[in-house]
Structure 1
Amino acid sequence: MTSPFRVGESVSKMAVFDAEAIRSFAVATGDMSPLHHDAKFASSTRFGGLIVSGGQLSALMMGMVATFLTARRVGLGLEFDFKFKKAVIAGESFTAEWKIVAMESAAKYGGDVIELEGSIVNEKGEMCVAARSRSLSFPEQMLTLS
C-alpha cells in the first residue's frame, strides 16, 4: 500500500497567546508558576512579561501533528521530544512548523512510521522550540493493533 505522505511535506501555523490564554491553560494543567499568572512578577524577570508554558507550546505542536497525519489516515503519536530554547512572551506572534524528514514501513500495522522535525520561531526569527516526533500512520481498516 502506498503512503499518502512524502518526505519533505510540511505543515505550519501562526499563533499568538494572550495573557488570558496563558493563564487559562496553566490553570487547567495545574501549572501555578508566577511566570504564567502574575504579570507584575513576570515583568520584573529577564522575560519582561508573562510567558507561555512549555506544556502549552508542546500541546499545540502535538495537536498539529495529530491533525496533519489524521487528515489522510489514522495516526498515533509514538514519541515527542521538545527542546525549549527561548521563552515565548504573551502577545508575541510565532510560527510553529513540522516537516516530514523520514518514513519507514511498519508492515506489522500496514502503515508507516513517520518522523518529523518541528520548530517554533518567534516574530523576530528566533528559535524558541526545537522538536522531533515519530508517529504511526495506517489505513482505517488496520485500526486494531495486535
Structure 2
Amino acid sequence: MGKIVAVGETFSASHHFSPDSIREFSTLAHDFNPLHLDADYAAADPRFGGLISSGTQQMSYLAALLATHYSKTAQPLGLEFDMKLRRAVHAGDDITVSWTVTGSLWKASLAGDIVSLDGHAVNQRGETVIAATAKILVCAKPA
C-alpha cells in the first residue's frame, strides 16, 4: 500500500452562526459565558456589542471537517491540533472553514499517512477568525 493523501489537496465547508445555534452549542459545550447566551448582556458589552459564539464552536467545525472529509474514503484519526483565535464570530456571521494538506508521509508501521495541514476559518468579510495547523493519521478504510 502507498500514500493515501496528496499534498496540495484542499477542502472546505461553510457554516452560518445564528443566535439560536450559538446558544445551543454553548449550552451543549457547558460554556455558560453570557456573551454566548444572553443577547442583552452581550449587546451591552463594549468590546463585542452583541452575541458571539464560543471559540470551541468554530474550532469544532474545523476539527470535524477533517473527520468528515477523510472518513468518506479512509479512516482518519486526529493526532495534533493548534488553533489560534484571531477574531470573534458574531451572531449572523457566515464562516468558511478550510484545510490544505502541506505534508503527507507514509508510515508503514501505522499502515497510513501522517498528514500535516494548514487550516483557516474566515468570515464573510474575508477576515481570518482562526488560523490552525493539524497533524492526523489517515489509514485505508477497514474492509
> TM class by shorter-chain length?
over 0.9
1:99 and 2:100 matched: yes
Contact 2:95 2:124 in 1 (8 A): yes
Q: Which residue of 2 aligns with 1:61?
A: 62
Q: Deviations over 1:60-94 (max 9, x none)?
A: 11110001121221110111111000001011112
RMSD: 1.3
Instruction: Please report the TM-score for the alignment, with normalisation by the length of structure 1.
Output: 0.92
C-alpha deviation, 1:138, in angstroms? 1.0
**Count of paired positions:** 142
> How high is the sequence identity, in percent, across the aligned residues?
37
C-alpha deviation, 1:112, in angstroms? 0.6
C-alpha deviation, 1:12, in angstroms? 0.8
1:90 counterpart SS class: coil
Contact 1:4 1:72 in 2 (8 A): no
Q: Would you identify which runs of 4 or more consecutive aligned residues in structure 1 move more than 4 Å? A: none
C-alpha deviation, 1:141, in angstroms? 4.2
Q: Which residue of 2 aligns with 1:31?
A: 31
Contact 1:74 1:139 in 2 (8 A): yes
Contact 2:10 2:99 in 1 (8 A): yes
Q: Which runs of 5+ in 2 are unaligned?
A: none
Instruction: Please report the TM-score for the alignment, with normalisation by the length of structure 2.
Output: 0.94
Contact 1:14 1:96 in 2 (8 A): yes
**Could you tell me which amino acid in structure 2 is paired with residue 23 of structure 1?**
R
Q: Which residue of 2 aligns with 1:126?
A: 127
Q: Deviations over 1:18-66 (max 9, x none)?
A: 1111111111111000110111111122112111111111111111000
